[in-house]
Amino acid sequence: MSSTDDDDDGKHDGEAPAKRPSLTAVMREARRQLGDLLQRQAGAVSAIKATDNGWTADVEVVELERVPDTMSVMALYHVELDSGGEIVAYERGPRYARGQIDRR
């Protein structure tokens, strides 16, 4: 093993560093992957931010479908994605009725 094999710069033998996915692509992937993991319908991405190690996103998920639709139980999930847009962690946040309006 040569000394260049120990470098952690992400480049190998003149290769360019991997291109970071677009914000739009990461939003779509966060929704798709979280929906697949939870086997539930993922809805809107209400926040997304690039970080040093990848991305973070807040994704709304239908936890329990009710009739009328405005009474369905929703949950906000905080998702961490790596630099390639793959989910590496998630955590469920607050739950609320779909028709609920924020009080400020």
pLDDT number for residue 99: 81
* Residue 32 φ/ψ, nearest 5 degrees: -65, -50
Q: Which two tokens stand for residue 36?
A: 């697949």
pLDDT number for residue 91: 98
- The answer on pLDDT for 1 being more than 70 is no
pTM: 0.77
Residue range 5-45, pLDDT digits in tens: 444 444 455 666 668 899 999 999 999 999 999 999 999 99
Q: Which two tokens stand for residue 88?
A: 């590496």
Residue type, 103: R
pLDDT number for residue 4: 46
List the one residue out of 78, 77, 85, 91 whose CA is nearest residue 41.
77
Residue range 42-100, pLDDT digits in tens: 999 999 999 999 999 999 999 999 998 888 999 999 999 999 999 999 999 999 998 88
